[in-house]
Structure 1
Amino acid sequence: MTHRQKSKTTLRSRWLGGLALGALLLPGIAQAETLRGALAKAYENNPTLTAARAGQRANDENVPIQKSYGLPDVGARANYEENLIIPGNAFNSPVRSFSSNAQLSVPIYQGGAVRNAVRAAKYRVEAGQADLRATEASIFSQVVAAYMDVIRDQAIVRLNRNNVSVLRTNLQATSDRFEIGDLTRTDVAQSEARLALAESELRRAEANLIASREAYIQLVGEAPVDLEPPPALPNLPATADQAVAVALENNPDIEAANLAVEASRSDIGVAKSARSPKVSATLGGGYNNFLGSLDSGVPGVDVRQETSSAAAGISVTLPIFSGGRSSAQVRQAQSRSSQAIENYVATERNVIAQTRGAYAAWRANEQVISATQQAVGANALSLEGVRAENSVGTRTILDILNAEQEYLNTQVQLVSAQRNSYVAAFSVLAAMGRAEARDLGIEGGPLYDPAVNYERVKNEIWDWADDPTPRQQATDTRDIPAADASLPADTPSARR
């Protein structure tokens, strides 16, 4: 293992060890997956996130690009010519020649174009960094939803399998009692119909589980294995107004929209600079050598074969009339600035609505959980009572089937509400700008810091400072087996 690989492994270990959500996870087997582990894998390997980082690095380069227009420009040229055919009346034309020239151009005044363009580029770099934070929070929210979807759908499949098993037992008991004349054919038909319906619901639940697992693989890059219950989420707001207040201060989408407004204002300055004079200084020189092939045409008279030249000057360009192009460009920049301002308002509205909606969904699902837990307990008691009453002849088989169905429905509602509550709570944190890697207890070098690349390139003026050849960062999922509907208890390792 190379030093670089060891360093990367150490950093990743520190990163995985530092990731926390403010609560202890329930203990599990060594192969079990935790939510923090899933988030860590997505943070390192999700292609949407790694692509966003690459896009931000490209965005960083706009600053040195704009700065370059205010720096000196040096160029050189060399040329060698061999005259293959010389006109008959060109008695002193050279047979061959070599020439070279060089020029230095120094911009002195650009009407504020460079200054405003650099300022706009810097604002857009900061906006891009905020967008990267938003992408990170979005990926984490999707991972949390996928993680909870798998847990929910596993529970639903388990409940439906248990229901099918119970209904098969009921059908066998009903058939036995029909054989001895204790029940009618109608009772048997009702049991058969309910079992068939339960089996179809099981198939649907298994399909949903497979889809949830595939979504998890897409986001995390690995198959979900024995997912542990998630930890409690910290720092949830007490009220919706409190959540909105934090979101208005910390939400990365709002920050990016605000920086886009500032960049658009600098763009107006760039457009206005087109109407200003431009001043630059130039220094140039040239050298020609006819390589002994230049003839004076007069016998005995030599001609100088080499010439050189040098010149320095100042160039002033004063725009006088451009057919209205300059004012049109200024008006265009002003309109785009107005658009950026309105986009900021729209973003702010959207964040407020998302925050309030997520908070309402979280609180509502907490109440649903409380009510459904009571319903599950009540339906469990009701099912026992109906079975007991059926044994003494006061309840029918249909009453038992209905009680079993109600018990199953409330159990499914409970696990769904638990999933919805957790996802909504995480969405509240995301809207508040508190669901990013920096908020999850991650510290030190392993965190990707977009400012590092910006600081590296912002003042780079060397024309050969290329980066290494791009390599794939995200992991492939082509070799991961297709997801199935097996439950953790069905795996060989679990059976052992």
Structure 2
Amino acid sequence: MTAKRIYNRRCAAIALLSLSPAFTGQVQAETLQGALAKAYAGNPTLTGARAGQRATDENVPIQKASGRPGVDVTGSFSESILKPTISFTSPQRTINAQAQLNVPIYQGGAVRNGVKAAQVRVEAGQANLRGTEASVFSQVVGAYMDVLRDNAVLSLNQSNVRALEVNLQATNDRFEVGDLTRTDVAQSQSRLALARSDLQTAQANLVTSRENYIALVGEAPEALDSPPPLPGLPATADDAVQVALNDNPDILAAKKSRIAAGYDVKVARAARLPTLSGFTQAGYTNYLHTLGGTAQDAEGNAIEGPQVNKQAAAGVQLSIPLYQGGQPAAQVRRNQALESQAIEREIEVERGVISQTRAAYASWQASLESIESNQKAVDAADLALEGVRAENSVGSRTILDILDAEQESLRAKVQMVTAQRNAYVAGFSVIAAMGHAEADDLGLDAGTLYDPMVNYNRVKGKWLDWSFDHKPEPVATRTVDTPTQKPNVDPASKQP
């Protein structure tokens, strides 16, 4: 079989996951894309990651500020409580004001490389934000499919309990007329008790899945529709890995972090180089007519001396570090070690992505094969159950044979819906590992998508010290008002 035929067969198998009988009713079905859109807008993990990225954006103007002029103005007023005994000219009170402008001219490359490191870390943060988005979407897909699976499993268990209740009643009736023994009745009672236990477990599993769905999406799952076919699935594991190596956001983030660590080494090296800055200073002092001492005019008359002093200066300052106790070298070595760590981290992430992609592809492929096998098992189990019941009616099969056949049929159907769930989740995991499980890839109907570059472009060139944002308000939706989920089957939800 050619690779193309294998790929087409797999895509067809995935497409079958979205086909199921339609249900009547007035409840508007919730789609997987709708659930993803709600999580995209209100999941706290994702909204928190966006806020964290906005904080990372601010590192760029913070680094730029080190290379911008600085202006300081100071003022003071002093009142002499006790004048010096030996000073006759000391002022009683003084008003003093000073202004200073410093302009960095050369900082050894520390500012330039610090800005570059911050810019690269912004890119790394944006890649991490993509990874968070894909991770949240993967969790939502898993929760969505868990609800569909557990809803179907609960429905199967309920049907099984009803069938065993009818079977027990029929067994009792036949026991009353002497057609069956007490052993047959005990076997029916045992299987019914086990079925009720399995039903309770299925109810608990469904409640757990629904509550997990609420935690991720923000709303209770109601009338979930069948998921759509997954887009862009690769033909081979090697194809998936090649795409992942280029597009996986975790690899991109690790690469950017390694580049930023290289700039940190250059920033540390700048501590050994000279720095040059320009400055200008101005001062004003007023003694408020309290400065002692007198002067004489040309005729020898006493007059009050100057009570105001003004001064101004401008120049450049060159600082040449000669010895700093070994601190610059230690900082360089530390940042070199951190760069080495970032290099190894990049390789670690790459290894993990390759392993994750191959494992997800293998799981997806195995689940597709499992769907085909389980479908055959379901058909065979149903046929066997029908035959055993018919043979029991003529006395060639026992009640235990019927119970075993019913259990086998239930097990095959549960494994079928589980395989369908696993195939879809594994397929989505392949897409996520390839870096194609983000909002713009999935075509979500979520309005304007969040663009981290909008905030970065807004803040990267800000100069003002009073340019603040509004007070933070919660963005994620709360679930405190959602009702406690009940262990009941949602008839409007479709099979996985």
| Separation of aligned partners in 2, 1:442 and 1:388 | 52
| Separation of aligned partners in 2, 1:327 and 1:490 | 69
**Equivalent residue for 2:231, pick from 221, 229, 234:** 234
The number of aligned residues is 470
Q: Which residue of 1 is the match for residue 145 of structure 2?
A: 148
| Secondary structure of 1:459 counterpart | coil
| Separation of aligned partners in 1, 2:76 and 2:266 | 41
Q: Report the Cα offset of residue 324 of structure 1.
A: 1.8
Amino acid across the alignment from 2:346 = Y
Judging changes above 3 Å, is the alpha-carbon distance between structure 1 residues 490 and 259 closer, same or farther for their aligned structure 2 residues? closer
**Equivalent residue for 2:341, pick from 339, 342, 360:** 339
The answer to whether the Cα contact below 8 Å between 1:35 and 1:144 also exists between their aligned partners in 2 is yes
Q: Report the Cα offset of residue 85 of structure 1.
A: 2.9
The answer to whether the Cα contact below 8 Å between 2:37 and 2:445 also exists between their aligned partners in 1 is no
Q: Which residue of 2 is the match for residue 75 of structure 1?
A: 72
Establish whether residue 94 from structure 1 lines up as the match of residue 96 from structure 2: no
**Equivalent residue for 1:33, pick from 27, 30, 34:** 30
Amino acid across the alignment from 1:137 = A
| Separation of aligned partners in 1, 2:18 and 2:404 | 40
| Separation of aligned partners in 1, 2:464 and 2:99 | 19
The answer to whether the Cα contact below 8 Å between 1:94 and 1:293 also exists between their aligned partners in 2 is yes
| Separation of aligned partners in 2, 1:191 and 1:469 | 66
Q: Which runs of 4 or more aligned residues in structure 1 lie more than 3 Å from their structure 2 counterparts after TM superposition?
A: 23-30, 87-90, 297-301, 442-445
Compare 374-383 and 92-101 and name the one that shifted more.
92-101
Amino acid across the alignment from 2:476 = A
| Separation of aligned partners in 2, 1:246 and 1:73 | 48
Q: Cα deviation per residue 1:324-368 (whole Å; 9 max; x = unaligned)?
A: 211111111111111111110110110001100000000100000
Compare 364-373 and 479-488 and name the one that shifted more.
479-488
Q: Report the Cα offset of residue 93 of structure 1.
A: 2.4
Q: Cα deviation per residue 1:81-108 (whole Å; 9 max; x = unaligned)?
A: 2223334443332222111001010111
Q: Report the Cα offset of residue 303 of structure 1.
A: 1.7
Q: Which residue of 1 is the match for residue 45 of structure 2?
A: 48
The answer to whether the Cα contact below 8 Å between 2:73 and 2:100 also exists between their aligned partners in 1 is yes
The answer to whether the Cα contact below 8 Å between 2:98 and 2:283 also exists between their aligned partners in 1 is yes
**Equivalent residue for 2:443, pick from 441, 444, 468:** 441
Q: How does 1:298-447 map to 2 (within 5 A)?
A: 300-442=302-444, 446-447=448-449
| Separation of aligned partners in 2, 1:442 and 1:102 | 56
| Secondary structure of 2:303 counterpart | coil
Q: Which residue of 2 is the match for residue 16 of structure 1?
A: none
| Separation of aligned partners in 1, 2:431 and 2:107 | 46
Q: Report the Cα offset of residue 477 of structure 1.
A: 0.5
Establish whether residue 127 from structure 1 lines up as the match of residue 124 from structure 2: yes
Q: Report the Cα offset of residue 322 of structure 1.
A: 1.8
| Separation of aligned partners in 1, 2:19 and 2:30 | 11
| Separation of aligned partners in 2, 1:282 and 1:421 | 69
| Separation of aligned partners in 1, 2:97 and 2:333 | 45
Amino acid across the alignment from 1:412 = V
Judging changes above 3 Å, is the alpha-carbon distance between structure 1 residues 441 and 171 closer, same or farther for their aligned structure 2 residues? same
**Equivalent residue for 2:264, pick from 267, 270, 279:** 267
Amino acid across the alignment from 2:179 = D
| Separation of aligned partners in 1, 2:235 and 2:462 | 48
When normalised by structure 1's length, the TM-score is 0.92
Amino acid across the alignment from 2:76 = N
Q: Which residue of 2 is the match for residue 285 of structure 1?
A: 282
Q: Report the Cα offset of residue 314 of structure 1.
A: 1.4
Q: Cα deviation per residue 1:196-235 (whole Å; 9 max; x = unaligned)?
A: 0000000001101101001000000000011111001111
Q: How does 1:165-204 map to 2 (within 5 A)?
A: 165-204=162-201
Establish whether residue 249 from structure 1 lines up as the match of residue 251 from structure 2: no
Compare 118-127 and 24-33 and name the one that shifted more.
24-33
State the identity %: 57
Q: How does 1:106-121 map to 2 (within 5 A)?
A: 106-121=103-118
When normalised by structure 2's length, the TM-score is 0.92
Amino acid across the alignment from 2:382 = A
| Separation of aligned partners in 2, 1:232 and 1:322 | 65
The answer to whether the Cα contact below 8 Å between 1:91 and 1:297 also exists between their aligned partners in 2 is no
| Separation of aligned partners in 2, 1:84 and 1:485 | 82
Unaligned runs of 5+ in 2: 1-14, 296-300
| Secondary structure of 2:285 counterpart | strand
The answer to whether the Cα contact below 8 Å between 1:92 and 1:297 also exists between their aligned partners in 2 is no
The answer to whether the Cα contact below 8 Å between 1:102 and 1:285 also exists between their aligned partners in 2 is yes
Q: Report the Cα offset of residue 24 of structure 1.
A: 8.9
Amino acid across the alignment from 1:355 = T
Establish whether residue 66 from structure 1 lines up as the match of residue 63 from structure 2: yes
The answer to whether the Cα contact below 8 Å between 2:18 and 2:226 also exists between their aligned partners in 1 is no
| Secondary structure of 1:451 counterpart | helix
Q: Report the Cα offset of residue 317 of structure 1.
A: 1.2
